[in-house]
Chains A and B, each alone.
Chain A
């Protein structure tokens, strides 16, 4: 979750009063976070850009409805998540009715296969831009519902309750999918950062 702008309340108030520069300042603070969120959920840059544009446009149009006692970023993320899920629904990747049902084989538990410890911390093992790419890639190994839940909880740091509310699902569903996602991503990242990593690392790996 990005840092709260010090003068955020003033900026939101000014933007509500029609100050477009204030809105642009808010937009510049949060646009790359919203783009990453859109990319994580939809899985492609074209849809991520649509999510960014549509969410910011909706936020701008609905600014009068924003309650000053909540956080602007949280409100913006809610809008962006709805736009992104709308895209997934159009692509029929998100079936609401099946959200609470485990997929075949899913209720049998997850058995960790990679039992190799990591060498250097990922932040030290590669450049920041390379790490960003690796994380963006491995998150796409999750199914759309799981990566949406993981993104809200572990990337954006919303609570389990907030994540459940935003997606209209139960807390146990969030917890179960979160556990599986963390374990799955751990497996994927071990391929890069395990002591005997099999995946070719970017050139900067020491």
Chain B
């Protein structure tokens, strides 16, 4: 543990000395990397990451950035999660990332429904909600597996592109391959949510 902290501190120092040409990245809310021991740990390291969580609010407002600030310009969910009538997500977000503008994109870019609003919840609460058919769009475990491993909007978190300054967005702590593997294992082994 102390070793990890020390290493992290060193990385931080090293990182700072390199950062001269761009805005420094926002400090991460949680400086201690979460444990990645079990498939459940690995799954939740992605789900709980701001790349996922920014579009799973419990209110009507998407978040942005490493610090999960409210999406600029007062952007709202709208009736169907695709934005307001004349201010749709697709006004700015297309089906793939745009490297010129730094605007992220993926197919059917939209806000998760309120039933999948997870911001502020613990990882066990999020996992419970994910499996709850009354909240997850009535998905079975198989359908959840399919969604989490195939949906291009979900998988966008592993290719999140660059921000408005051309700086790469932070990715979740594990790779897409490791994610698919972990989700598969977790669900195929009964999608057990450990007590915490």
User: Do A and B interact?
Assistant: no
